[in-house]
Amino acid sequence: MPGKIEKDSVTGTETTGHEWDGIRELNTPLPKWWVYVWIASIVWGIGYMLVYPSVPYGPGYFHGLLGYSSRSHVAHEVAEVDAKRDIYMKKIAAQPFSAIEKNPQLMQVAETAGAITFAENCQPCHGQGGEGRLGYPALAAGAWIWGGTLPAIRQTITYGIRSGDPQARDSQMPPFGKSGMLNAGQIQQVASFVWSKFYGHPTKGEDIAPGAKIFAANCAVCHGPQGQGNPAFGAPRLASHVHLYGDFRASIVRQVTDPRMGVMPNWNKRLDPATIKAVAIYVHDLGGGQ
Amino acid sequence: MSRVHERRVQLEKDLGGDHLYASRVRVYSKAVKGKMRRIKWAVLAFCLTVYYLLPWLRWDRGPGRPTQAVLLDVASRRYYFFGLEFWPQDIYLLTGTLIVAAVALFLVTSLFGRVWCGYACPQTVWTDLFMWFEREIEGDRNERMKRDAGPLGFDKLWRKTAKHAVWLFTAFWTGGAWIMYFADAPTITREFWTGTAPVAAYFFIGLFTFTTYALAGWGREQVCTYMCPWPRFQSAMLDEQSLTTTYQAWRGEPRARGKRDPGARPAGDCVDCAACYSACPMGIDIRDGIQLECINCGLCIDACDHVMAITGRPKGLIAWDTLADQKAKQEGRSLAFRWLRPRTMIYFGALAIAGTVMLVALLLRAPIAMDAEHDRAPLFVPLPDGGLRNGYTLNLTNRTQRAAPFVLTVRGLPGAVLADGTAPQERHTALTLPVVADSIADFRVLVITPPNAPHAARWPITFVLRDPATGDETTYAAAFFGPAAAAGGGR
């Protein structure tokens, strides 16, 4: 502190006594109440450190007198939300689809729960919006293999397809080529027929009559005389523009010779019945539901 | 002793005692009478009347609607201002209003200095009101100074207690009026006194009671000088042509007390009577020239005019004047006040443009609005029959006070039909999407093309939304996506 008060001759204000290269600093002090607020903030800070987690030491940290922890706070809030959600999920589990569909609130919960569950579990194969991909059915298109009603979708999700679950949906496409039931020529003939008649790609100057005959004798029993398919056996609809293995003639030949048959896991081991119902509602409302 | 001198003495005392910080010098402003004081009372009465009574004004908006003329309904996100209703989407109108207010403040400041601070700022209005209570209870300047310097006795005790009680009551009333802007006034009043009001109501009444009491009772000029940013940059709006409260140094100096004897040393009109700085609510001496602390309230003008009348000199030793005119007067000339200067014209131009834009924006607010968001994935869905489907989430706004049976159609895509996302099997050429009164609703809408329809990777389409009841219509330019190759092509 300056021993003697020195005044600046121009302004008449006291200086602090500090001088740099002949420039002296004027003393224009802060108001006192400002300092008191600052001190009060420090006192508040000490109190805050006492009641809330603050000082770390070696293996742990001081937990504070209130014992607050952001982790348990989150856990508590999650539990609260779970309890709230549970009210609706119980209703979804208990009510039939027809009743849920009439309740906008339950539908909203189901759609949301379904969307989240779908994104976590179904999206890797069926695509983000259920658009499907080669070998994985398109759910949004309405080209259902095992049926697109709400109960049918729930059945498929719950027990899966060829999943090993006792109640799984199961069917076999016979390996017509590999087992020798049809020879290579016959397979080409039936492929030409399906490609032209059902896939909608007219073949030039090719006689599809022999293929039609082979189809009627071997395929129509499951796929239908008009190629309309049969959801009861999971026989895909052939008269369509959406095909499980793509819009390729080679795929038809491959499926007749040595068929690929996909597997869908049974989700009853991983998801509870209410969540499965929610996913069924979400999938149904992607745009292809029946 | 002048105020400035008092402060100097205080500073020296503080520094001598090794204090790093300055004590506050209490301001004991003296009551004055005069024109400026009357104007200040009138503005104060007007502002406080509007503030306290406006929430009680009723406005009929029809059944089931709020009946309060001015109401900021946070819970349902609506702001009612007489016949107008604002949505959160109208935030740009608030932004615009703030811009208009700021430019208007710049304009007024460049013309008349800090009159906002001196007359209309809430800090000034409530401080003035609290000072009036103080004078009524504790007496005027000299009496208050004497009592404060004296020991604590019964007289001092009851007067101080009464003053703080009146302050707290006024502060409480102020906080109470504040929350009435956010809830129906009669309802919240009843709820408040029966203890059933929301916790937030009690909290905010408490908060505003405290801030009013602390800022108007205790903070006062400290708020204006140290807390408010406005005085720090108001000098950017002022120039030598702005009207400010000015001490006419050319005729006042040299100041001297006592009678003006013909034979004595020549003296100016200022008799150094202390009337000007005794009246100042900011505790400054206007004779030091234009300064940061001055709020341009003009109370020193009234105080000085009174003294000039007694001494028989012309009024206006302290007067509204410009710095340029001061200089001219010193040279024996006089300048007229210049309303039109580049600075004021720029501010006025900006004000006119901003005001017009805001008015047009307000008048052209549409009662119907639509936004469409295309599905992220998949962009398109090929259908078993060979057609294509795109999904959209439509966000429809109905700002009218009745249910709107909106009808949606799509243009630009030959043969396209629409379907409600919840019933995709039912196809429509025009889709009815009802939205209840005064609300926004989301719909998932599917657009479906017939088999083998022409399409492109990106096909521009237009959604048309119509309110058949009013004929209002709005459109949204969207896109319909498909595979790059033509549909149905062979491979």
Q: What is the ipTM of this complex?
A: 0.73
Closest residue in chain B to residue A111, using alpha carbons only: B422
Alpha carbon of B435 to those of B7, B75, B368, B395, B478: distances in Å? 68, 20, 10, 10, 21
Question: Dmax over Cα atoms in chain B, in whole Å?
Answer: 121
Look at residue A203 and tell me whether its pLDDT is greater than 80: no
- Among B236, B268, B287, give the residue marking a domain's end: B236
Q: Which two tokens stand for residue B413?
A: 């895509």
What is the reported pLDDT for B370?
94
Cβ–Cβ gap B378/A249 under 8 Å: no
Task: Assign 3-state DSSP to chain A and report helix, strand, coil percentages, each to 5.
Answer: 45, 10, 45
Q: Tokens in use for A271?
A: 């998801």
For range A13-38, the mean pLDDT:
86
Separation of alpha carbons B433 and B421, rounded Å = 11
Q: Would you call B61 helix, strand, or coil by DSSP?
A: coil
The domain spans of chain A are 78-167+264-284, 184-257
Minimal C-alpha gap between A242 and chain B (Å): 5
For the stretch A51-64, pLDDT in tens is 999 999 989 999 99
What is the reported pLDDT for A3? 56
Measured between beta carbons, the chain B residues lying within 8 angstroms of A290 are 425
Do residues A277 and A96 make contact, with C-beta atoms less than 8 angstroms apart? no
Q: Which domain holds residue B193?
A: 31-86+121-236
| Chain B residues in contact with A242 (beta carbon < 8 A) | 382-384
Question: Shortest CB distance from B383 goes to which of A34, A242, A248?
Answer: A242
Contact call for B488 and A142, based on CB within 8 A: no
**A29:B381 CB<8 A:** no
pLDDT value for A27: 85
Q: What is B407-464 written as a DSSP string?
A: EEEEESSTT-EEEETTSTT--BSSEEEEE-TTEEEEEEEEEEPPTT----SEEEEEEE
CATH 1.10.760.10 corresponds to the domain A184-257: yes
Are the Cβ atoms of A127 and B378 closer than 8 angstroms?
A: yes
pLDDT at A86: 93
- φ/ψ (deg, to 5) at B196: -110, 5
Q: pLDDT at residue A15 above 90? A: no
- Of B23, B375, B383, nearest to A32 by CB-CB distance is B23
Chain center to CA of B393 = 38
Is there a contact between A238 and A199 (Cβ–Cβ < 8 Å)? yes
With an 8 Å Cβ cutoff, are B378 and A131 in contact?
yes
pLDDT tens for A235-279 read 999 999 999 999 999 999 999 999 999 999 999 999 999 999 999
Give how far B49 is from chain A: nearest CA, Å: 33
Contacts of B286 (CB under 8 A, 6+ apart): B245, B246, B247, B276, B277, B280, B294, B300, B318
* C-beta atoms of B488 and A14 within 8 A: no
- The residue in chain B having the minimum alpha-carbon distance to the alpha carbon of residue A289 is B424
Look at B16 and A192; give whichever has higher pLDDT.
Answer: A192
Domain count, chain B: 2
User: Does residue A142 register a pLDDT over 90?
Assistant: no
B316: left (phi over 0), alpha (psi -120 to 50) or beta: left
CA-based nearest residue in chain B for residue A107: B422
Q: Which residue of B has its CA nearest to A126?
A: B378
- Tens-digit pLDDT string for chain B (491 aa): 455 666 666 666 665 555 666 677 889 999 999 999 999 999 999 999 999 999 999 999 888 889 999 999 988 889 999 989 999 988 999 999 999 999 999 999 999 988 999 999 999 999 999 999 999 999 999 999 999 998 888 999 999 999 999 999 999 999 999 999 999 999 999 999 999 999 999 999 999 999 999 999 999 999 998 899 998 888 888 888 999 999 998 888 888 887 777 776 778 889 999 999 999 999 999 998 888 889 999 999 999 999 999 988 899 999 999 989 988 988 888 888 888 999 999 999 999 999 999 999 999 888 899 999 999 888 999 998 889 999 999 999 998 888 999 999 999 988 899 998 878 888 899 999 999 988 999 999 999 999 878 778 899 999 999 999 888 999 999 999 998 755 444 33
A184-257 shares the fold of A78-167+264-284: yes
Residue type, B336: A
How close does chain B come to A126, measured CA to CA in Å? 11
Confidence (pLDDT) at A200: 87
By CA distance, what is A17's nearest residue in B? B15
Q: Do B21 and A138 touch (CB under 8 A)?
A: no
The pair of structure tokens assigned to B294 is 């001055």
Last residue of a domain, one of B236, B262, B289: B236
In degrees, rounded to 5, the angle at the alpha carbon of residue B251 between the alpha carbons of residues B247 and B255 is 80
Candidates B16, B383, B488; nearest CB to A142: B383
Show residues of chain A in contact with B13, CB under 8 Å.
Answer: none
Sheet arrangement for strand B70-73? B70-73, B78-81, B84-86
- CATH number for the domain including B457? 2.60.40.10
Determine the residue among B383, B443, B444 to mutate to test chain A binding: the one whose Cβ has the most chain A Cβ atoms within 10 Å: B383
Helix (H, G, I), strand (E, B) or coil at B237: coil
Q: Could you tell me if residue B461 is inside a domain? A: yes
CA distance B10 to chain A (A): 12
Of A5, A247, A287, the CB nearest to B491: A247
Q: Which residue of chain A has the CA closest to B389?
A: A141
Do the Cβ atoms of B378 and A237 come within 8 Å? Answer: no
How many CA atoms, within 13 angstroms, populate the side-chain half-sphere of residue B93?
Answer: 16
| CATH class of segment(s) A78-167+264-284 | mainly alpha
CB spacing of A140 vs B422 below 8 angstroms: no
Cβ of A241 within 8 Å of Cβ of B491? The answer is: no
Q: Best interface-test mutation with A: which of B381, B393, B420 has the largest number of A CBs within 10 A?
A: B381
Given a cut of 60, is residue A9 above it in pLDDT?
yes
pTM, two decimals, is: 0.69
- B376/A129 touch (CB, cutoff 8 Å), yes or no: yes
Does residue B472 contact residue B396 with C-beta atoms inside 8 Å? no
pLDDT at residue B11, rounded to an integer = 64
Mutual angle of helices B35-53 and B299-311, in 10-degree steps: 150
Residue B408 lies in a domain: yes
Contact between chains at B22 and A32 (C-beta distance less than 8 A):
yes
pLDDT at B292: 86
